[in-house]
């Protein structure tokens, strides 16, 4: 290092200062000459014609061949980088164009702030309630971890989960959508389009799954949009939707949030639906964050969706989304027009069910085969933390130390296995399930198996579960309105895309027969009605065989042709009743008791009438033994051997 350079200018002589200034001037001039020379070379380089591969890209962008030089290649590179989300390249392009970047950033911040003001955010409902409901639904409640005792004190284990919340939500979904719906839109063309649209978008396949999540989260959303000239449908869970504006009937404006991951960042796409001048305005905002639980900062849409526009406008006043709110009145202090989970007020019962099931599962661990052996066969255990010897009962140890007694030498190895408490646990779980049914509006036994009566028919379920039927009917009333609004929005969009012609809409939705009758009951009911003369034979055949009238007439002709085999015919193909040969008092009661004992259940009215009618025809000779056995077997749901015993007992 030259020590003279460290001498302050105030302490240098005149000659030294002049010499230093001369050197600085020469260096400065040399630097200016180099910069000028470099600028001239750069200018010459930029004016050179573009390379062949660069010319192809410039030509694809529509650049004139006369302008295809290296300077244009540099501009193209900067433009493509900005289009791909490079914020620095974007700022540089703005500066080159002469725009005020500070003004642009300020406007962006204002829009972002306005969005956050409208966005309900974490007001306690989503993080305090909906997230907890989702954890319970997914089998991750806060009570899942149980603290251990004994030598493993301080550690935790995972509780054996019954996950009744998921079962309950699935049960509501299945009961509400056990059958499809009849949809009428005012014209055959509209009807055909809606049916094709629902099948194309997987509505019948996805709606049960969506409803199951809706009963856990309090609601769900259907969202319609246009993609490549066709109407599409999106199934949105309730926790991905945030209401902004609503009235006494509907939610008219809202935001949809979709989180996706790419690289080391999490991206949240917010899609805001609002009404502006009788049009539907859809605005899209993209936020990027390294934290999956926070939206982060706003970035251009092109970072993740290069082909998506910032805004869409639809010339219609029908909202492009529909919110289904579960019919469980909310007792949560919130102003949001959202529903609550079906198990929002019975979390303690769900916890008790998991505790009971965990005890039931551990019963098999603690109740393993165990024996008592002499103490000389037992080794002590040293606690690695304290260094002391300890004796303890280990659930995984199949050998247990005997107690000290005078007969140690004579003590034999004996079985000390604990009896499993199966019935106690099953009864306890069933009792808790009945409490849960009471809390959510289901009839007792809806979530349990009736061991005494066996599996019940659908007719018996409807007749016994009046409370369940009322609860499900309330949910279906809201589902009808939910589907009707969806159909109207789909048809309005289809008119815009040209998939259907313009016209008036008269959309009506009705669930098909909610009482599903099993085949045995259906056959028994028809036999009773035909025997009593209250139903024609052709109508009975049509209903039982699920065929049209022509096929039923052919079947009736076939029956008439076999009348010689069947016995006595009334001329229309059906065997006559044979009169009143069956005793209506003690004999009839014995027959019914015998049939119920063979069937293992109580016969309903239709089955009892069918049995009496068949017995009358058999005793009169109108039916042979084999024919009577077949009819009784089908009518009351017993085997042919059991049907034969019933007939033999009546003789």
Q: Which of 91-105, 251-265, 363-377, 592-606 has the highest mean pLDDT?
A: 251-265
**How high is the mean pLDDT of the chain?**
77
pLDDT band at 377 (very low <50, low <70, confident <90, very high): low
Q: Which of 18-32, 274-288, 318-332 has the lowest mean pLDDT?
A: 18-32
Interval 366-390 mean pLDDT? 67
pLDDT in tens, 45-65: 767 777 777 777 777 777 777
CA distance 347 to 359: 18
Q: Which residue has the higher pLDDT, 607 or 458?
A: 607
Integer angstrom CA distances of residue 447 from 208, 427, 600: 19, 13, 22
Q: Provide the CB-side half-sphere exposure for 629 (13 A, CA).
A: 12
Q: Report the pLDDT value the prediction gives residue 26, as an integer from 0 to 100.
A: 55
Residue 129 has pLDDT above 70, yes or no: yes
Q: Report the pLDDT value the prediction gives residue 595, as an integer from 0 to 100.
A: 78
pLDDT in tens, 86-96: 666 666 666 66
Q: Report the pLDDT value the prediction gives residue 93, as an integer from 0 to 100.
A: 67
pLDDT in tens, 1-10: 455 555 554 5
Q: Which of 74-83, 179-188, 306-315, 346-355 has the lowest mean pLDDT?
A: 74-83
pLDDT band at 27 (very low <50, low <70, confident <90, very high): low
Residue for token digits 């309900």? 120
Residue 446 has pLDDT above 70, yes or no: yes
pLDDT in tens, 573-621: 444 444 444 444 445 777 777 777 777 777 777 677 778 777 877 777 7
Q: What is the pTM of this model?
A: 0.59
Q: Report the pLDDT value the prediction gives residue 149, as an integer from 0 to 100.
A: 76
DSSP SS3 for 287: strand
Q: Which residue has the higher pLDDT, 20 or 530?
A: 530
Interval 369-382 mean pLDDT? 62
CA distance 535 to 542: 11
Percentage of the chain beyond pLDDT 70 is 73
Q: Which residue has the higher pLDDT, 440 or 83?
A: 440
Q: Which residue has the higher pLDDT, 188 or 380?
A: 188
Q: Report the pLDDT value the prediction gives residue 490, as an integer from 0 to 100.
A: 95
Q: Which of 203-207, 266-270, 544-548, 561-565 has the lowest mean pLDDT?
A: 561-565
Q: Which residue has the higher pLDDT, 626 or 151?
A: 626
Residue for token digits 């052996």? 373
pLDDT band at 283 (very low <50, low <70, confident <90, very high): very high
pLDDT band at 631 (very low <50, low <70, confident <90, very high): confident
- Quickly list DSSP for 570-635: -SSSS-----S-S-TTHHHHHHHHHHHHHHTS---HHHHHHHHHHHHHHHTTSS-HHHHHHHHHHH
Q: Report the pLDDT value the prediction gives residue 376, as an integer from 0 to 100.
A: 52
Both structure tokens of 258: 């979709």
State the pairing for strand pair 321-325/381-382: unpaired
Q: Report the pLDDT value the prediction gives residue 491, as an integer from 0 to 100.
A: 94
pLDDT in tens, 292-337: 777 888 888 888 888 888 898 998 888 999 999 999 988 888 888 8
List 259's β-bridge partners, or say none.
Answer: 268
Q: Report the pLDDT value the prediction gives residue 609, as an integer from 0 to 100.
A: 75
pLDDT band at 474 (very low <50, low <70, confident <90, very high): very high
Interval 623-636 mean pLDDT? 78
- Quickly list DSSP for 451-478: TTT-SPPHHHHHHH-HHHHHHHHHHHHH
Interval 407-415 mean pLDDT? 57
**b/e code 331-364 from CB counts within 10 Å (16+ = b):** ebeeebbbbbbbbbebbebbbbbbbbbbbbeeee
Q: Which of 147-151, 208-212, 235-239, 244-248 has the lowest mean pLDDT?
A: 147-151
Q: Which residue has the higher pLDDT, 263 or 44?
A: 263
Residue 413 has pLDDT above 80, yes or no: no
pLDDT in tens, 189-229: 999 999 999 999 999 999 999 999 999 999 999 999 998 88
Residue 131 has pLDDT above 60, yes or no: yes
């Amino acid at each position: 290092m030259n020590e003279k350079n460290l001498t302050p200018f105030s302490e240098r002589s005149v000659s030294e200062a002049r010499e230093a200034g001369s050197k600085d001037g020469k260096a400065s001039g040399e630097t200016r000459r180099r910069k000028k020379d470099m600028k001239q070379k750069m200018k010459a380089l930029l004016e050179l014609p573009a390379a062949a591969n660069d010319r192809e890209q410039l030509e694809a962008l529509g650049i004139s061949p006369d302008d295809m030089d290296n300077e244009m290649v540099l501009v193209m590179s900067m433009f493509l980088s900005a289009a791909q989300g490079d914020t620095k390249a974007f700022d540089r392009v703005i500066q080159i164009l002469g725009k005020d970047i500070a003004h642009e950033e300020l406007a962006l911040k204002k829009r972002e702030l306005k969005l956050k003001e409208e966005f309900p955010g974490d007001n306690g409902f989503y993080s305090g309630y909906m997230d907890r409901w989702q954890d319970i639904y997914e089998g991750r409640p806060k009570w899942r971890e149980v603290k251990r005792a004994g030598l493993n004190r301080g550690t935790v284990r995972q509780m054996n989960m019954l996950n009744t919340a998921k079962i309950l939500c699935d049960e509501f979904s299945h009961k509400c959508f056990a059958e499809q719906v009849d949809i009428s839109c005012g014209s055959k063309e509209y009807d055909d389009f809606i049916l094709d649209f629902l099948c194309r978008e997987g509505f019948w396949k996805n709606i049960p799954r969506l409803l199951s999540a809706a009963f856990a989260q309090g609601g769900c959303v259907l969202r319609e949009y246009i993609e490549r000239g066709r109407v599409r449908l999106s199934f949105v869970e309730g926790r991905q939707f945030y209401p902004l504006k609503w009235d006494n009937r509907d939610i008219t404006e809202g935001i949809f949030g979709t989180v996706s991951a790419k690289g080391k960042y999490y991206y949240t796409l917010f899609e805001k639906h609002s009404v502006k001048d009788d049009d539907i305005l859809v605005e899209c905002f993209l936020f990027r964050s390294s934290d999956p639980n926070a939206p982060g900062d706003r970035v251009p849409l092109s970072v993740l969706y290069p082909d998506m526009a910032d805004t869409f406008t639809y010339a219609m006043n029908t909202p492009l989304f529909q919110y289904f709110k579960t019919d469980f009145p909310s007792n949560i202090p919130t102003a949001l027009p959202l529903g609550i989970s079906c198990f929002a007020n019975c979390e303690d019962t769900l916890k008790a069910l998991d505790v009971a099931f965990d005890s039931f599962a551990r019963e098999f661990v603690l109740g393993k085969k165990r024996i008592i052996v002499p103490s000389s066969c037992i080794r002590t255990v040293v606690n690695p933390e304290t260094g002391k010897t300890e004796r303890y009962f280990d659930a995984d140890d199949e050998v247990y130390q005997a107690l000290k007694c005078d007969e140690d030498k004579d003590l034999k190895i004996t079985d000390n296995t604990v009896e499993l408490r199966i019935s106690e646990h099953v009864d306890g779980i069933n009792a808790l399930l009945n409490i849960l049914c009471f809390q959510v509006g289901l009839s007792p036994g809806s979530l349990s198996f009736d061991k005494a009566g066996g599996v019940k028919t659908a007719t018996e379920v409807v007749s016994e579960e009046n409370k369940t039927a009322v609860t499900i009917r309330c949910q279906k009333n809201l589902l009808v309105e939910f589907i009707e609004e969806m159909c109207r929005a789909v048809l309005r969009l289809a008119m815009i895309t040209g998939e259907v012609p313009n016209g008036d809409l008269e959309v009506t939705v009705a669930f098909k027969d909610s009482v599903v009758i099993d085949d045995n009951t259906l056959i028994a009911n028809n036999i009773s009605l035909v025997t009593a003369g209250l139903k024609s034979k052709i109508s009975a055949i049509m209903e039982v065989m699920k065929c049209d009238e022509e096929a039923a007439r052919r079947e009736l002709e076939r029956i008439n042709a076999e009348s010689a085999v069947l016995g006595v015919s009334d001329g229309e193909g059906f065997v006559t009743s044979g009169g009143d040969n069956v005793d209506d008092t003690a004999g009839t009661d014995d027959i019914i008791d015998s049939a119920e004992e063979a069937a293992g259940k109580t016969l309903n009215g239709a089955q009892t009438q069918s049995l009496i009618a068949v017995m009358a025809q058999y005793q009169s000779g109108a039916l042979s033994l084999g024919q009577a056995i077949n009819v009784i077997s089908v009518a009351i749901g017993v085997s042919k051997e059991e049907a034969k015993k019933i007939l033999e007992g009546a003789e």
